[in-house]
Amino acid sequence: MKILLFSNSTNNYLKFRMGLIKKLISMTNDLYIIIPDNEDASFIKSLGINIIKLNLSRHNSSFIKELILMFKIFNIYYKIKPKYALHFTIKPNIYGSIVCKFLNIQSINNITGLGTVFINKKYSINFYYFLYKFALKNNYHTFFQNVYDYRFFKKNKIINKNTSILPGSGVNLKKYKSFFYPSDNEINFLFIGRLIKEKGIFEYLYASRKIKEKFKNVNFYIIGSFDDLNKSSINKKIFNDYLNDKSVIYLGYIDDVETIIEKCHAVILPSFREGMSHSLLVAASMSRPLIASKVPGCKELVKHNLNGYIFESKNKKSLVQAVNNFLKLKNTEKKDMGYQSRVMVEKYYNEDIVIKKYAEIIK
């Protein structure tokens, strides 16, 4: 039995899918993974997996280039002829599923989020509706990471009946363990995500400056990369202004975020929408309180006043209030919030749940 995985980045496999990949290795000795041609695939290759390189750009807007990409995907699928093709992220979900229709391959999609096209309601949204409807009609199976995205696709008559909801990508509870909670001599907050508008980076920067006007022992850390090809990417000059006045501390892009999370008192995510935030899942698994916007993919992970605080999306003053509320807590109360985060993850978001659901679909 041949199985093919297709995502838009190597990190998508390494960060979110390694548990699933190891399970698939145990189910077949013929596993293939498509990876962008400019990314390092040495670790995945070391697992004995067949690697296929593909020139894939998330931001390509040229119709001709997209047709060429589709043709290349068709050739890959035609040569391999997998029984199952597992797709993650928007382009693999759409293009991979369309190719599977023509080649009679059983397509399994994972809707990891709606993407900025749907969040910002851009002019091209109707085109994406059409593509999704065509791609997912009579699809073998489609997974959603939250009930809100599922309802959106159902309301717009994009999906068929072969659907189910996963607890995000799940989290490896053996890797991300509960760490000791830091003292409150200094209070450290952390933002993890791409430095784009839709992740709420501007709200985070505003809150950091406002809070530090009153509290000198508070630090706001940022982990993430600039996305220069994205129109929503933060202006580096504006970002540098916050660095220069020490409102925030930028750590760049870091793979092993757990080494930073264990030094922080809470993780903040002001995102406009998520599939299911993996950064919040990791922080929760490490017994950290969560401060997140009231949007799908975030609000499911935060029980207000129990394991953190929810604030209004795109509302910087609401975020400031949530941070102020957190700072008023005793350290023992903050620690108890973190404990509740771990309990929630253990009960609902163990990656074993995700892996089991995939194994039930792949026969």
Per the CB < 8 A criterion, the answer to whether 293 and 306 are in contact is no
CA-to-CA distance for 141 and 235, rounded, in angstroms?
40
Q: Which of 334, 340, 336, 341 is nearest to 284 (CA)?
A: 341
Query: Looking at this protein, which amino acid is placed at residue 22?
Result: K
Q: Which of 71, 66, 36 is nearest to 53 (CA)?
A: 36
| 209 membership: H or E segment, kind and range | helix 201-212
Would you state the pLDDT for residue 183? 93
Quote the pTM value.
Answer: 0.89
Q: Is 350 left (phi over 0), alpha (psi -120 to 50) or beta?
A: beta
Task: Work out the end-to-end distance of the chain between its first and last CA atoms, rounded to an integer number of angstroms.
Answer: 9
Neighbour-count burial of 215, counting CB atoms closer than 10 A to its CB (0-12 exposed, 13-18 middle, 19+ buried): middle
Would you state the pLDDT for residue 42? 87
| 5 membership: H or E segment, kind and range | strand 2-6
CA-to-CA distance for 335 and 233, rounded, in angstroms?
34
Residues belonging to the chain: 363
- What domains can be seen in the chain, in order of their start residue? 2-165 (3.40.50.2000), 187-348 (3.40.50.2000)
How many CA within 13 A on the CB side of residue 85?
28
> Phi, psi (5° rounding) for residue 234?
-65, 140
Q: Which residues of the chain have pLDDT under 70?
A: 58-61, 115-127
**Pair type for strands 106-111 and 187-192:** unpaired
CA-to-CA distance for 345 and 280, rounded, in angstroms?
10
Per the CB < 8 A criterion, the answer to whether 3 and 24 are in contact is yes
